[in-house]
Amino acid sequence: MRIVVCIKQILDPDTIRISRSQQAIDDRGAKKIMTPPDRWALDAALRIKEADPSVEVIALSVGDTGVEDILREALALGCDRAILLSDAYINKARSAGLAQIVAAAIRRLRNVQLVMTGHMALDTGSGTLGPRLAIELGDWPVLMNVDKLQLEGNHVSGLQYADDKYYIS
């Protein structure tokens, strides 16, 4: 099985300062990190790989060369490969355009059975990449807000919490 995990780099909120004189955000000294929800998706994929060493986990990100740091982190955590999609056009893509670009890259990898994303990007508050990717990849099934992910053969199920109850999806 081949799993692609989409990861994004953001400014660490703990290192961003507010300039009172400029009345603006001062991010000059801010560190860049992998957005935590994407890190959780990566951890879930690596747990699947731990249970079945034949699983290949590929980290994929979009951005400039500065994003290489989180891709190296993904490799250090246990990913088999890391891919950076980068050029002037790609780096400016948002929402639907970004999903089209990432889906095209995933199709070129061939034999990808599972794509994982975090539930939202902390810098934009958006949680649309997963559903948009599912559409772009040909109406793949989508599991969202999953607390526990299980893989049995080629079937993925998840435990979701809604309305004060857990549901198996």
Residue 125's pLDDT is 67
Q: What is the pLDDT of residue 101?
A: 94
- Copy the structure tokens of residue 17: 């300062």
pLDDT (tens place) for every residue of the chain, 169 residues total: 999 999 999 888 888 888 777 778 777 778 999 999 999 999 999 999 999 999 999 999 999 988 999 999 999 999 999 999 998 888 777 777 899 999 999 999 999 999 999 887 767 767 889 999 999 999 898 888 888 888 887 788 888 777 888 777 7
Give the torsion sign (CA, 51, 68, 128, 115).
negative
CA–CA gap between residue 78 and residue 55 (Å, rounded): 11
What is the pLDDT, as a whole number, of residue 25? 79
Full 3-state SS string of the chain: CEEEEECCEEECHHHCEEECCCCEEECCCCCEEECHHHHHHHHHHHHHHHHCCCCEEEEEEECCHHHHHHHHHHHHHCCCEEEEECCHHHHHCCHHHHHHHHHHHHHHHCCEEEEECCCCCCCCCCCCHHHHHHHHCCCCCCCCCEEEEEEECCEEEEEEEECCEEEEC
Question: What are the angstrom distances between the C-alpha of 24 and each of 13, 20, 32, 131?
Answer: 14, 7, 19, 33
